[in-house]
Every structure is written in C-alpha cells, then in structure tokens.
Structure 1
C-alpha cells in the first residue's frame, strides 16, 4: 500500500539510533501526504510531511478529530482510549476550548515571566553542580533538572518527590524502550501512581488552597460542574509529561547539535545575545514530540490524496520542520543564525503544533531553554562526547537516554553565587 518502500514511521526501531533525517527527507519529497503501512498493527496511515498540509489538518478539527480515537500516535485498546478522553489533547471543540481556558490562565506570558528569577537561580545551581567536575551525564544531571523542578513547582509537588516523578515520567512515556520500561503494563501502572499522587494533592488543596496550576484546575468549573477527579488526574499527567519531557528533550538534543557544530557553539560563546535565536533553531531542528494523530471524520482531499472517513492521519512534526518550501534549500542544516536571516522563525516552526492544540506551555518551554543555555554555553567549555549518545526507542518522543560529555572544568563563580 505504501507509495514508496520506506521504513514504518510508527516503528520505534526506526528511531533507535536517532532521527533518520535522510529517510524523512525522501518521504517529504515523495509528497506532502504519503500512505504508509504499519505491519506492527496492521493499520495503515497517512503521514503528513509538509507545513501547508499539516496546518490544514490541524486547523480543521471537524474534518480531523483528536477525540475519535486519540491524538497519540500509538494504537490503544478501547478502555485506554475512553480513559484518555479526559485529557485536553484528546478533545475536539467545543469541549476543548472550555477545558483549555481553565489551564491557559496558569501559563500566560506575564505569569510565566514572573518565574524567571527563580528559574535563573535553579539554572545556576544545576550548572554549578557539574561545572567544576569537567564531566557529566548531560541528560539527567543537566537537561532533566530545570524542566522537572519548574513543572513540579507549578503543580505544587514538593521537590523531595522529584526523583520519583523523574522515574514515573520516564516509565510512562518510554514504554517502547526496553532500557526504560519493562512493559506497557508498567507504563500504565506508573500513570496510576501519578494519578494517585494527584488525588492526594487535591485533598491537600481542600485544606490548604494552592495558587498554582493544580489549584486552577481544581477550582474551575466545566459546564457548571467542578472538574471531575478523573479529568484532573489525566490533566495532571499531561501537564507533567508535556512540561517535563519535552523541554528536557530539546535541551539535550540542542546540546548535542552544538557539540557536533563547534564553530556554531563558539559563535554563541562570543555572542551570548544570540542564544535566544539559537534556541529557536534547536526547537526547529529536533522537535520534542515527533508525531501526533488525527482521525478523518469524512472523505477529504489533502495534498492531492483522497483521505477516507475513519483513516488514521499522522502529523509528523519533525519532517515538517525541515520543509524546504518554508525553511529554504538549507532546511536540513542546523544553523544557529537562521533566525537572524528569518526573523519569523519562531512563528514558522511547528514544534509546538498549530491551531486549537497549539501547546499551552510554549512560553514556559522557551524561557527554560533560554535560561539554561545562558548558563551552559559560557560555563561548560570545549564540550566533547565521551561516547556515542544513546537515544530512546520511540516514535512519539524524540528523547535522549544518555549523553556523557567532558568539558574544561570551570572554577565556581563564587562572586555570582
């Protein structure tokens, strides 16, 4: 059924050695919408490879539903699909907008910007912990720290429980990787543990009201009724994973790209005011979430292909972010100066999606990335790989498992501390 003999983009093995850039380019050049087989599930799908068609699918939820099955690209049993209808990512209008309004207030740019001083303190402490050693495992010791600390603070989770949440989120999101989780059942068990924890937070909020995301969710009403415990639990998981894994992934992949392009890293050492531009290119070049799903609700032509009602449609953000029609002939190249040439880069990339499901935490993610790279770039000097980075075996999250690096040890900045 495939139009071309490509590897299955919904096979986690396709990504176990990192992102298959060249294969994705070939698929993108085969067409903006390509029909593919999935021998693992027996369910064929359409993969959307370019931004114009991705925007059309994303902005037309009546034609392409998130709720009909799920917005997650993996196949799920009916029970899991039904449970996850309580997460905002698996909702269509008008319900989606009503729930989104509840969460959105906790992520306004003004509110997020108020966290910057605290984030900078955390970032300095995180880099302090490794800078004098001259080596670290970058993913867990550096990239994972601030995203997890910040999202737990916003959810009202005490920092002493941080390690447990690090383990739970890894287990939930990386169930396809044998090094990260034993089975799908273990991932579901971790999700239940997080929901149980969320229920305890809800009890605490009744006695000691919290002014944070958890409080905003619990105090809100949906169609005149309080948010149900089930919806709160699943929303808690979605915010936890979305606010944690995604930023960690971009930070780790961004560091890898800078190390693979030392002249670009040196440019940022010499021009620290350009770090925010570099962050946009990191977001473009290696998206955190690789793909999402929609289900066609009626027959519709997109990109010259007739998609039938009920067909599975995969939005492949990674290949769309390398769309030559938008980013030019050098779209496959990593270039930290791209935003200097393309000032609207932040608006053109699709790392946060587009349309009704555009990521609520966009401003938070950008702030965390900028704050961390402001500390990392001048202080982890001359970084180099100890061994090959290890990637997570997943077609959903473009994460790194391990990246051991060495760098010239820096003296502690006692004056600044």
Structure 2
C-alpha cells in the first residue's frame, strides 16, 4: 500500500487516512515515512499504535517537545528560542514550572463552576438560530461556544469573539485556500494576539478582576510569576487550542451523529448518554490528528532503531481506533464505556490542560441541541479543513 499520512488534500477530501493507518497498525506500526525536500520537511517515524503513542507521550526525556518543537512543520532555527517559551514546546522541568502556574486557573472545581454559564451560552446560541431555518452548524453553533467561553476565562468582552475566531483561523488554516492569506499571515495574526494579551495584562494589573488573567499575573505561593512573553504565548495557546479542539469536536461530532442516525436517536431519547457521548466524539473525531517529538538519544521501538535527532510523529487518529485497545473501534457508540481514548494526548507532561473544560462544553452543547433541536437535519455536504494537524470541519449546512 502507498503510504502518505500528511497529504493535506486527502484530509480536505476524506478526513484522516484511516485505511492507511489501519494497514500500518497491522503491518508496520513504527513506520519510516519518507520526507519531502520540496516542502522542506525530513523523513520521520510514524507511530500508529495506542501503546506506542502513550510510550512516546510519557517519556519526555527520550522524546522531546522542545528540541524541534511539537508541531509537524520545520521551524527556522532563529525562531526556536521564542517558540520554546510556549508550554506546548517545552520539556520538564521548564514545562512543569509553567504548567503549575497555569494550572491555577483550570482546576476541576473552577471549570465545573462554569457549567450553568456554558448552558446559558448554548441556549442563547439556539435562541439565535431557532427561527432561521437554514444555518451553518459550524459558524452559528460550534465555533461561537468555545469563543464565548474563552472570552469568559480571559475576562474579555464577548464582542472580541470574532477577532479570536479570525486569529485562530489565520494561524491554523495557513494551508487552506479559504483561510490562507499572505505567507506571513499566520505570524501576523500571532503578533496581533500578543498585542491583545499585553493590553489585557496591563488592564488587569491596573484593575484586578476575578478571572484567569488576574490569577495568572499574580505570584504563586513560591513568588513565581509568568513573564510577559510567557503570558502572551499562553494567551496564544488558549486562543488556538481552546477554540479549535472544542469547535472541531463539536462540528465533527454533529456530522458523525448525522452519519449514524441511530446514535442521534439514542441521544435524543436519553440525555444522560451525553457524558459518554462526549468521550466517544473525541475518540472518533480526534480533533488533533498528530504531534511531533524529536528523539534525544538512540532508542529501539518495536525492533526499529530510532536515532538521536530523528523526527517522531504520533497519530492520535490511529491510536484511537486501535483494535488492541477498543472493542469494535470502527463503530461509533455513544455509550462506549470504558473509553481509554487519547484524544486529549497520551498522558505525561502534555496531557491537555483543558480536557475537563472541553468535555463539559461538549456534554452541555449536545444536551441542549438534542433537547431544543431534536429534528435537526443536514442539508448539504460538510467542507473539511485542508490540514494534516487539525481534523477540522469548516462548514456543515443544517436545517433547524
């Protein structure tokens, strides 16, 4: 079988290449994938089994996020130092310090306190579309929800949600014709986020408020604080990660429920299933498709000799359909329990900080949608994002 796991046109057309990923799990789970000199990226080891993705994720000393960063594309040497200030691109102990500072705003207790507010947001979104007939589920429902929540977390005015949406699209959608602008557009959007974060920080230092920004700017019990650059990069990470994952899990989940009408009917009949449905949606959609690591020393995985400096890429879309871990992994089952998916990462230092929040948003959203719009139906073809990093849906036409 011809293997190409990074062909963005395939992702735009069909989503993740599940047929290829299954073949690799069965035949060559630690696979040397040829590079592309024209596009400037080297060959890499493709890791497709659940057990191995977890192994790579939990051994930061062996598989580094900082050495060449965590995203797939190569970054010029002169940009590495700045990017390493972002938690995503750090290894312990630096990552441990930063995460302990940021964790203060994301405790389960603080997240659970948002439930009634998230429910109000969801009802408000449905109120806005209820009389419209034809809508786009992505731009009218799935995208605004996490943007409202991010504004709430940052203590930012809700009118800023459109700016956050545009910034995120420009940074993530650089390879998509609907979102791509000038070659520097993604970097320009990032600079605009930094300026926005600086303005927020200045306002909170002048007038502290009961929000995450104020909390993160205050010293912790050891007197530690985030530097200006660290805070700016945290806001950037929140704008992208906090938006893209929930938005694409919600829109991908809705599309999947349309494709599995029996599961939609189950959810409409029994709202208690939204708890397990949220995890099954994340498993099935795998909003983040891959992350990159770099080997810090020679090692062996399933008999393959990985050399120091080799690029290693873990595929969550594959791990979440591993036949050795999931019963009937090719079946979408909203009551699946247990569900040891790794849609929020394979554990270890980089397990998703916002996993509680994302699951809460998904659970409440689908409770409200099934309650308020039980006859919702798809009216046109979904358009997928041209990206091998995010399994994204750009548009999903529906009728209310």
TM range (shorter): over 0.9
SS at match of 1:292: strand
Aligned-pair CA distance for 1:103: 0.9
* Aligned 8 A contact 2:30 2:301 in 1: yes
1: CA distance, partners of 2:65 / 2:221: 19
1:12 aligned to 8, 23, 37, which one?
8
**Counterpart in the other structure of 1:206:** 205
Match of 1:132 in 2: 131
Q: Which residue of 2 aligns with 1:352?
A: 344
SS of residue paired to 1:356: coil
Count of equivalent residues? 396
In the alignment, what sits opposite 2:329?
Answer: 331
Show structure 1 runs of 5+ residues with no match.
408-417
TM superposition shift of 1:66: 0.5
* Deviation digits for residues 239-278 of structure 1 (CA, Å, limit 9, x no counterpart): 1211111100000000000001111101111111112111
> How many angstroms apart in 2 are the aligned matches of 1:95 and 1:383?
47
Distance 2:185 2:137 in 1: 26
Distance across 2 between alignment mates of 1:132 and 1:180 = 29
CA contact (8 A) 2:216 2:225 kept: no
Q: Is residue 2:354 matched to residue 1:361?
A: yes
Aligned mates of 1:223, 1:231 — CA distance in 2? 17
Give, in angstroms, the shift of residue 379 of structure 1. 2.2
Q: Does the alignment pair 1:257 with 2:249? A: no
How far apart are residue 155 of structure 1 and its match?
A: 1.2
70-79 vs 88-97, which deviates more? 70-79
Contact 1:10 1:38 in 2 (8 A): no
Alpha-carbon distance change, 84 to 210 in structure 1, aligned in 2, over 3 angstroms: farther
Whole-Å separation in 2 of the counterparts to 1:79 and 1:211: 38
TM-score (norm 1): 0.92
Alignment-derived partner of residue 270 in structure 1:
269
**Using a 3 Å threshold, how does the CA distance of structure 1 residues 57 and 223 change in structure 2: closer, same or farther?**
farther
Give the alignment partner of residue 26 of structure 2, picking from 3, 24, 29. Answer: 29
1: distance between equivalents of 2:245 and 2:183? 20
Distance between the aligned counterparts of 2:211 and 2:28, measured in 1?
A: 45
Q: Distance in 2 between matches of 1:315 and 1:156?
A: 35
2:34, 2:296 → 1: CA distance?
Answer: 20
Q: Tell whether 2:351 aligns with 1:386.
A: no
Counterpart position of 2:107:
108
Deviations 1:65-111 (A, max 9, x none): 11101011222112332221110111111111111001111111111
Query: Residue 290 and residue 171 in structure 1: after superposition, are their counterparts in 2 closer, same or farther (change >3 A)?
Result: same
Q: TM-score, normalised by structure 2?
A: 0.95
The 3 A distance-change label for structure 1 pair 42 and 249 is closer
Unaligned segments of structure 2, at least 5 residues: none
| CA apart distance, 1:11 | 3.1
